[in-house]
Structure 1
Amino acid sequence: MVDAQFLQQLAAEAEEDGVQQLVVGAVVQHDGNVLLLQRPADDFMGGIFELPSGKLEAGETLDVALTREIKEETGLDVADISDYLGYFDYMSGSGKTSRQFNFAVDVVTAAPVTLQEHDHYQWTPLAEEPPVTDAVKDVLAQYQGQQ
């Protein structure tokens, strides 16, 4: 499990950097594949595949938000947050400076995946070139380097 004090430090550094919105993302791995979700075509960055991710709600810590977002977006339950995989910054659809903190997670079971906010999901082999943004490719490379 990732240390709570470390998570607080990450959030504090983001605030010091002027980040307006905190986001968490997860590399969910099962049998050498990672779970990718496809955004709805009419959404911000519509059609792209991404990691399960989402914004922190008021008063949430990074780990609580991560567990909640994975459950909301996939129906899967987090068993453990095993590694911190770094962050990337981006401008959100609403124009906010956003920082996505990324973590490797283990889930209780990898099925069934139940989508609430996405059109499609796929389990993508780590050995293949994933259909994601360069920022997410970097997160996946970091993940592979820690395995």
Structure 2
Amino acid sequence: MSPDFLSGLVGDARADGITGFVAAAVVTDADRVLLQRRKPDDFMGGMWEIPSGKVEDGETILEALHRETAEETGLTIEMVNGYVGYFDYPNSRGGTTREFNFAVTVAKTEPAVLTEHDAHQWALLGDLPEVSDAVRKLIAP
């Protein structure tokens, strides 16, 4: 994935008035996708989501993708297979966050070590638990 392509994603987002950036990993294993459940007392508690997190100042989208996946799951990205799109959502600071989503493979699928979620599962793509509409559109066949 070229640096020009990635900087174009950020440039387009800024031109759209986006104020926050998140990198997210669509981790698949055959016909399954890795999902994590938000803790009950979190915003959108109980909702299942893909591993994701904020792009920090001075960090590239891909650096954040690798870091956040490792921090949230304990898994190491082996390869970024491609960019699969984005979606926007309101953030707590009154702006809009853009989530950049990438298809990835990991070196090993287990053990997943959760730090911010209370459960994980390898869900069948045709039988997803409660995920947001944006995530469902992103990963459903």
Q: TM-score, normalised by structure 1?
A: 0.91
Identical aligned residues as a percent: 48
Structure 2 residue aligned with 1:99:
98
Measured in 2, the distance between the counterparts of 1:74 and 1:134 equals 23
- How far is 1:7 from its partner? 0.8
Q: Distance in 1 between matches of 2:130 and 2:28?
A: 16
Letter in 1 for 2:116: E
Q: Give the secondary-structure state (helix, strand or coil) at the position aligned to 2:134.
A: helix
Q: Superposition RMSD on alpha carbons, in Å?
A: 1.2
Structure 2: how far apart are the matches of 1:79 and 1:16? Answer: 32
Number of residue-to-residue matches in the alignment:
141
The answer as to whether partners of 1:130 and 1:137 remain within 8 angstroms in 2 is no
Give distance in 2, aligned partners of 1:72 and 1:127.
27
TM-superposed deviation, 1:43: 1.1
Aligned to 1:33: 32
2:46 equivalent in structure 1: 47
Q: CA deviation at 1:129?
A: 3.5
Tell me the secondary structure at the aligned position of residue 117 of structure 2: coil
Indicate whether 1:5 and 2:4 are aligned.
Answer: yes
Please give the residue correspondences for 1:52-131 in structure 2 after superposition, counting only pairs within 5 Å.
52-131=51-130
In 2, Cα distance between the equivalents of 1:48 and 1:30? 21
Runs of 4+ in 1 over 4 A off after TM superposition: none
Distance 2:29 2:99 in 1: 22
Name the TM-score, length of structure 2 as normaliser. 0.95
- The 2-side partners of 1:103 and 1:28 are apart by 9
Gaps of 5+ in 1: none
| CA deviations over 1:77-106 (Å, ceiling 9, x no partner) | 001110111100001234331000101001
